Structure 1
Amino acid sequence: MEGSCWPLHPFVRLLHHTQRYRRQVGLASLYSILNKIFDLAPPVLIGIAVDLVVQRQDSLFSRWGLVSFEHQLLALALISFIIWSLESLFEYAYARAWRNLAQQIQHDLRLETYAHVQEMDMAFFEAHSSGLLLAILNDDINQLERFLDGGANEILQVTTTVIAIGGIFVVLAPTVAFWGMLPMPFILWGSLVFQRRLAPRYADVREKAGRLNERLANNITGIQTIKSFTAERYELERLRIDSDAYRQSNRRAIRLSAAYIPLIRFVILFGFTGTLVLGGFAAFNGHLDVGAYSTMVYLIQRLLWPLTRLGETLDQYQRAMASTQRVLNLLETPIAIRTGDRPLDPSRVKGEVAFRDVSFAYAGRSAVLKHINLTIPAGQTVAIVGSTGSGKSTLVKLLLRFYEVQQGCVCIDGIDIREYRLQDLRAAIGWVSQDVFLFHGTVFENIAYGTFDATLTEVIQAAKMAEAHEFIEQLPQGYDTVVGERGQKLSGGQRQRLAIARAILKDPPILVLDEATSAVDNETEAAIQRSLAHITEHRTTIAIAHRLSTIRHANCIYVMEQGNIVEQGTHEALLAQEGLYYSLWQLQTGQLID
């Protein structure tokens, strides 16, 4: 993702991506331009006021038919009131429009990017840390919002100022206008040079920010391990190194961006001095009205001094473009697993599962599964056992399409699962993983997760079937007890039983138990086994287990080793073969004889 090579500049890509906001952008831009036009009017009014006092009968208002000084002054006051009112009105309008637009784009872009991330396969998450993804979804999108909130308006208003004041100068005194506007090309050229040099520095800042976020997220998640190994100092030092790298990266960017304003001020000085001196001589010699000279002196400041803020705006712009690059790179990362278009109604699924000549390897590793052929009849319970790394869990991950098969196919009821709508496919499968994940919420919310319209009665019934109701009732608030992040307030066995209850409530035609009793004690295991005997009736069940006692009553047991199915049969038949299963059984029951 980070190393992708994209042909378009981030700003152009952002424009393409925000086409639906054209009307809001247009209105916000119009408000900014009108505000700046009315903001530039007071210096012109000052020049008119000077002429009004100095020339009187030859003033601008006298040429419009207002002869008396009083009428001219009142007209000037009325125009001033209108202009100030409109300037204030459009300032409110553009501030509201840009801020709302920034919030809307931020909101939509975050949701769109997160929705896209959810569609990625598990290999993507293995290649990108959660800290990096959080930095993009949060910090980078916020950086873009900050630029839209103020930087876009600043660029528009500076552009409007240059065009409006340049036009006024050319009309009033072309020669003076030339010297007054002379610094402009140098300022723009200097701005572009700074922009090009700042771009890679801010890209590096965003990369370092991602690494820092990654470190923090990883350490907070693993705080229990850090404490158990008394590694607080070690982790603090590693965080210090990452934080210092981020600080140094920012320092390099600041060193360059901070030089912009002082250098630009010297260039501005020449334009201001030229207008002051040349305009003064022209007014003294009668070639320029005193009011016009006053207007030009005021306007040259309004033109040139705000350009010093261009450095800050460019600073925001470069930060925003570095962030935009990362956000859009993530958003444009291709989705590896595409949904099919065939609907799958869970209530009509028979539940036959077949793996046909399936081979699979994780990225950069040798094959985990090698030409697997396995058929699970509808409604039966099969078990898959084997040593760690033999490929057991990979089989069910392919069934859920967490990964895509690289050879062969996986079928449900004779149809390749790639043809089914992905959401329908996963809705038909209940999965209890060995690595139970509970969300920060109540017991009720965690059991009802995925079956969001479940009633309390249904949740309690599922908890009873999972042998979880009794311990839930003993919690401080029962089903309203908050379990903490990742369920840290519960024991491993309690978390496991909530996960089983969650799958039971889903009532899927296919149930996958991936080490579902790995974290429970013997007494709880026996209780869960009793409930599973009822749960698995009339339902296709795939049970993956290390503890062979939990699957001895399966209709068929498949033994895997190094990505191959090496044995299959009932518990009794496999013991009679005295093969790998027989050895595992004796080892676990303590009957192995040297």
Structure 2
Amino acid sequence: MTREHPLRRLAGFARPHRASAVAATVYSVLNKFFDVLPELLIGVAVDVVVNQQDSFLAGLGVPDPLHQLYLLVALSILVWGLESLFEYLLAVRWRGLAQELQHALRQAAYGHLQRLPPAVIERERSGRLMALMNEDVNQIERFLNTGANDLIQVVVSSLLVGAVFFALTASLAALAMLPIPLILIGAFWFQKRLAPRYAAAREAAATVSARLNNNLAGMATIQAYTAEDFEAEHLRQASDGFRARNADAIRFSAAITPVIRMAILAGFVATLLYGGMLTLRGDLGVGSYSALVYLTQRLLWPLTRLADMVDLYQRAMASVNRVMDLLDTPVPVRGTDPVPANARGELVFEGVGFDYGGRVAVRDINLHVPAGSTVALVGGTGAGKSTLLKLLLRFLDPKQGRLLLDQADVAAIAPAALRRTVGYVAQEPFLTDGTVADNIAYGERQPDRERVEAAARAAEAHAFIAAMPRGYDSEVGERGGNLSGGQRQRIALARALYRDPKVLVLDEATSAVDNETEAAIQRSLARAAQGRTTLVVAHRLSTVRHADVIHVMDAGRIVESGSHDELLARNGAYAALWRLQTGEVIEL
């Protein structure tokens, strides 16, 4: 199916701003109208000086040449004043519209991104998404700031000046305007070949952004492995690719202006020579000839900016397509029901299966998590433990079977309502660049300080928070960089407890902490689990040995279930994992 033209896609998005766009266009047209008039006034002035009582103005009822000059001065002041007024108004309108659309596009792109499942976002490079929401949106803004007005004024100028030419002498008009079709054909020929080059340049820019983003996040590892030169070479290659794509586009865009100049020269020479011959023969007035010479330049010279206009236009249209493609990414149809009233937190997985593009992650999972119980999922890497959590949080939707929360099908529940019922602690917790209190009460504009402190105490985080320079008002730094791994994890746990969820989900929450911190978190979990359903994914079996039920997963299936002691007594997969981690010999 043919994709809609990017300008139409942008116009569709900008429909709420149509009044501003119409006003800006009207101001551009009026500005160009009054911008063209001074050339006509020059012709009238020459006519007054040469013909005096027989001039054009004399025929309008102003016989005195001096009075004609006074009238010309008054008209010039009026024309220049109005031209300046509309110049100001169009600048304010176009730039205001550019800012409004820039803001709206960025907000819409980010808002849409947040509605997409994490799996869709994970398939995209973070650098590409960053480039899309920054550079691409800014490119569209630059076009609206100047390019849109330039394009409108070139069209209006051609129509106005063409009308004057044909009114004065049709034959000269045909000669003067002969280069315009050639110029436009050439511009469109260049435009067609520039479009794919600028699209390739935008993709190359996204590659550079992705590489920079990746390296900044992993700078400690780069330095630890003395891989600075290695990564610098990677960045050089990505930057060279961007430079090569841009150079390819520049070679084409740079050729436009010289070609247009030659076409303009032909039109100007035609007016100068043929118009002069008509004037010498008396078929054209001196004033009209003067006006036409000026107007030829006014008609054709702006076309030299077609190179910049086409360049800016093509860059903007490539960016429009990228932003609109993101906005057109379909959001999966989700449920709209609320969480069942007086939810207790009972979870049931019925024949649940899921695969990643044909690679089976979990299959035929039947699992019952009673309300208020603590259930653990253990197993090797790739066993399917984290996939079950993603299915519960509806980051993914099962391809077979269903999940129930208090007998209600999770697929029918609105994702936001479901997630407000679940407290989630990830293996690598995300902390926003704000205060400790902001992170514990994450998502609330006015945190309840008593609840914040209570949640921190429950997560055994209060002591180290109180020891920080500004306590709960201390900045955690970008991604929690001012905190240790254990401190970040306990703040993440406090965040989950702040919401007082019915279901608490922990995904490898203690895998990256020391034994002392793990013990503190385990004590916190023992208290936090009281009165709520807790689902724990862990590699370290010491974390889950006190769970009510432990399910051992392998290759997407549950292969063993029972308490810690029961599973050790079976001497199966769990017992093997326990021996591997502890070195303990199990006596049968």
Task: Calculate the TM-score normalised by the size of structure 1.
Answer: 0.96
Which residue among 184, 188, 191 is the counterpart of 1:188?
184
- C-alpha offsets along residues 210-263 of structure 1, whole Å, 9 cap, x if unaligned? 111111111111111111110000000110111111111111111111111111
Tell me the C-alpha RMSD between the 2 structures: 1.5
Which position in structure 1 is the counterpart of 2:426?
433
Partner residue in 2 for 1:418: 411
Q: How many angstroms does 1:24 deviate by?
A: 1.1
Out of 320, 325, 337, the position equivalent to 1:342 is 337
Work out the CA distance in 1 between the residues paired with 2:246 and 2:519: 59
TM alignment of 1:535-574, pairs within 5 A: 535-574=528-567
Q: What is the match of residue 64 of structure 1? A: 60
1:299 aligns with 2:305: no
Alignment pair present for 1:215 and 2:208: no
1:304-352 Cα distance to aligned partner (Å, 9 max, x none): 11100011100000111111111111111112x332111226x721211
Q: How far is the alpha carbon of 1:81 from its aligned partner? A: 0.9
Match of 2:272 among 253, 262, 276: 276
What code does the residue aligned with 1:587 have?
L
Q: 1:377 aligns with which of 354, 370, 376?
A: 370
SS in 2 for 1:385: strand
Displacement of 1:110 in angstroms is 0.8
1:401 maps to 2:397: no
User: Which of residues 30, 42, 54 in structure 2 aligns to 1:34?
Assistant: 30
1:362 to 342, 356, 359: 356
How far residue 143 of structure 1 moved from its aligned partner, in angstroms, is 0.6
Separation in structure 2 between the aligned mates of residue 454 and residue 176 of structure 1, nearest angstrom = 76
Inter-partner Cα distance in structure 2 for 1:343 and 1:453: 25
Q: Distance in 2 between matches of 1:353 and 1:153?
A: 60
Structure 1: which 5+ residue stretches go unaligned?
none
Q: In terms of mean alpha carbon deviation, does 72-81 or 424-433 score higher? A: 72-81
What's 1:532 paired with? 525
Q: Name the SS for the 2:21 alignment partner.
A: helix
Please tell me the residue identity of whatever aligns with 1:379. G
1:455 correspondence with 2:460: no
Distance 2:468 2:584 in 1: 40
Report deviation, 1:6: 4.7
Q: CA–CA distance in 2 between the matches of 1:310 and 1:531?
A: 68
Equivalent-residue separation in structure 2 for 1:367 and 1:304 (angstroms) = 65
Q: Partners in 2 of 1:572 and 1:227 — Cα distance? A: 45
Map residues 69-108 of structure 1 onto 2, 5 A cutoff: 69-108=65-104
> What SS does the corresponding residue of 2:559 show, helix, strand or coil?
strand
Deviates most, 562-571 or 238-247: 562-571
* Distance in 2 between residues matched to 1:24 and 1:192, nearest whole Å: 28
Query: What SS is found at the alignment partner of 1:288?
Result: coil
Counterpart amino acid of 2:160? A
> What is the identity, as a one-letter code, of the residue corresponding to 2:237?
I
CA pair 379-451 structure 1, distance change in 2 beyond 3 A: farther
Checking the alignment, whether the CA contact within 8 Å between 2:350 and 2:401 is kept in structure 1 is yes
Residue 235 of structure 2 aligns to a residue whose secondary structure is helix
Query: In structure 1, how many angstroms separate the alpha carbons of the residues matched to 2:93 and 2:286?
Result: 40
Matched, 1:442 2:435: yes
- For the residues of structure 2 that align with 1:181 and 1:495, how far apart are their CA atoms? 71
CA distance in 1, matches of 2:310, 2:253: 9
Contact 2:568-2:586 at 8 Å conserved across structures: no
For 2:347, the equivalent position in structure 1 comes to: 353
SS of the counterpart of 1:537? coil
User: What is the DSSP-based 3-state SS (H/G/I as helix, E as strand, rest coil) of the residue aligned with 2:465?
Assistant: helix
Q: More displaced, 442-451 or 106-115?
A: 442-451
Q: Which residue does 1:258 correspond to in 2?
A: 254
Q: Distance in 2 between matches of 1:153 and 1:69?
A: 39
SS of residue in 1 equivalent to 2:204: helix
- 2:484 and 2:522 map into 1 onto residues whose CA distance is 19
Aligned partner of 1:576 in structure 2 is 569
CA distance in 2, matches of 1:53, 1:268: 30
Question: Is 1:467 aligned with 2:467?
Answer: no
Cα deviation code 1:445-479 (max 9, x no counterpart): 11111344322222111111111111112223222
- The letter of the residue matching 1:35 is N
The CA distance in 1 between the partners of 2:419 and 2:2, in whole Å, is 34
Asked whether the equivalents of residues 351 and 413 of structure 1 are also in contact (C-alpha less than 8 Å), the reply is yes
User: Is the CA contact 1:450–1:506 (under 8 Å) kept in the aligned structure 2?
Assistant: no
Secondary structure, counterpart of 1:161 in structure 2:
helix
How far, CA to CA, are the matches of 1:467 and 1:306 in structure 2?
70
Matched residue of 1:324: which SS?
helix
State whether structure 2 residue 132 is matched by structure 1 residue 151.
Answer: no
Deviation at 1:593, TM superposition (A): 7.3
Question: 1:44 aligned to 31, 40, 62, which one?
Answer: 40
Q: Given residue 320 of structure 2, which amino acid in structure 1 is its aligned partner?
A: T
- Distance across 1 between alignment mates of 2:407 and 2:496: 24
Report the alpha carbon displacement of residue 184 of structure 1 after superposing the two structures with TM.
0.9
Q: Unmatched 5+ residue regions in structure 2?
A: none
- Taking structure 1 as reference, are residues 221 and 178 closer, same or farther at Cα in structure 2, changes over 3 Å only? same
Q: Residue 205 of structure 1 corresponds to which residue in structure 2?
A: 201
Contact 1:451–1:506 (CA under 8 A) maintained in structure 2:
no
Q: Secondary structure of 2:166's partner?
A: helix
Matched with 2:156 is 160
Identity of aligned residues (%): 51
- For the Cα contact (< 8 Å) 1:27–1:97, is it kept in 2? yes
Distance 2:163 2:564 in 1: 93
Partner of 1:116: 112
Deviations 1:275-307 (A, max 9, x none): 011111111111111111100000000011110
TM-score (norm 2): 0.97
| 8 Å CA contact 2:438, 2:447 repeated in 1 | no
> CA–CA distance in 1 between the matches of 2:172 and 2:444?
75
Q: Which residue, 16, 19, 23 being the options, matches 1:23? A: 19
- The residue type equivalent to 1:360 in the other structure is F
Change (3 A) 1:451 1:539: farther
